[in-house]
Amino acid sequence: MTTAINDATVGRMENQDLLKKNNGRLPKVLGVIPARGSSKRFPNKNIRMLAGKPLIAWTIEAARKAQRLTDYLVSSDALLIIDVAKNYGAPVPFIRPAELATDTVRNIEVVAHALEFMEAQKQIVYDLIVLLQPTSPIRNPLHIDQAVELLWASDLDSVVSVKGPFKKRDPILKAIRNGVLEDYCPVEDPADTEPFYMYNAALYGVRRDYFSKHRKLISARQVPLEMDPIYSVDVDTEADFLMAETYLNYLAKTRQQQH
């Protein structure tokens, strides 16, 4: 099951539909926004102003407005980021330990620390965990809600946001081999037009039990959440930043015209 979301309409699953599929209860969901202070390629990226707000503020606002998150938090080691996050209303229940703020630390370790802290503090056992990286500022609350709904209604262990579809008959993946540009994955049958998709890094959701057992955010088979290319920008370079600002300004203008 795949669902594409635009800014105007989205199919939201009603509580009663979720209840029917999960022993009569809604999931307890923890959202984690990781925001490390140091960034070699893009210093101060998380708090750089983007279309009038710090980059991280866009993800904070999406998490705050999402209806399917029981709790969410910002995990950071940097006091400046923590101050900005708090100014935009984000819960920051701890300062991330220094050993979890190095270049080699994976998001898995950051999520595990946040999960352990929150379950001890709240005296709760979550059902699902959602990772929301601040480098995806155009992802909105509807994407978060639908990811939770899709995963909770599924028999699979994880949900991942993707961009696409890309058609094989218009290949975009190329390789340079011996100085020649050629198809990375040649299409043996030109009539085979099955599309392919790519992770867009906007959202990863996983069942708590699976995460605790396997220490992975992604299972072998995943529920796909399709996102329009406009919402799939992953800010990792200066060019990405400029693209995200253009899209955010475009969406803001479009909303104003609609109202």
pLDDT of residue 19: 61
Contacts of 191 (CB under 8 A, 6+ apart): none
237-242 mean pLDDT: 92
Rounded-to-10 torsion of CA 19, 142, 241, 232? 70
Q: Which residues pair with 198 in a beta bridge?
A: 163
Q: Which amino acid is at 217?
A: L
Residue 1 in this model has a pLDDT that exceeds 60: no
Residue 8 in this model has a pLDDT that exceeds 60: no
Residue 50 in this model has a pLDDT that exceeds 50: yes
Can you list the domains of the chain with their CATH numbers?
4-165+196-258 (3.90.550.10)
218-244 mean pLDDT: 94
204-229 mean pLDDT: 96
pLDDT of residue 195: 83
Local confidence band at 89 (pLDDT 50, 70, 90 cut-offs): very high
Each residue of 185-196: pLDDT tens digit? Answer: 776 676 777 788
pLDDT of residue 13: 66
Q: Which residue has the tokens 């503020």?
A: 57
What share of the chain in percent tops pLDDT 90?
70
Rounded to whole angstroms, the Cα distance separating 54 from 207 reads: 30
Q: Poorest-confidence range of 9-13, 85-89, 241-245?
A: 9-13
pLDDT of residue 70: 97
Each residue of 117-173: pLDDT tens digit? Answer: 999 999 999 999 999 999 999 999 999 999 999 999 999 999 999 998 887 666 677
Residue 106 in this model has a pLDDT that exceeds 60: yes
Give burial (CB, 10 Å; 0-12/13-18/19+) of 186. Answer: exposed
Q: Which residues pair with 181 in a beta bridge?
A: 176
Q: Which of 68-82, 160-174, 191-205 has the highest mean pLDDT?
A: 68-82
Local confidence band at 12 (pLDDT 50, 70, 90 cut-offs): low
Of 174 and 177, which is predicted with more confidence? 177
Residue 24 in this model has a pLDDT that exceeds 80: no
Phi/psi of residue 62, each to 5°? -65, -45
Residue 78 in this model has a pLDDT that exceeds 50: yes
pLDDT of residue 94: 97
Residue 62 in this model has a pLDDT that exceeds 80: yes
Nearest Cα to 1, choosing from 139, 147, 106?
147
pLDDT of residue 164: 87
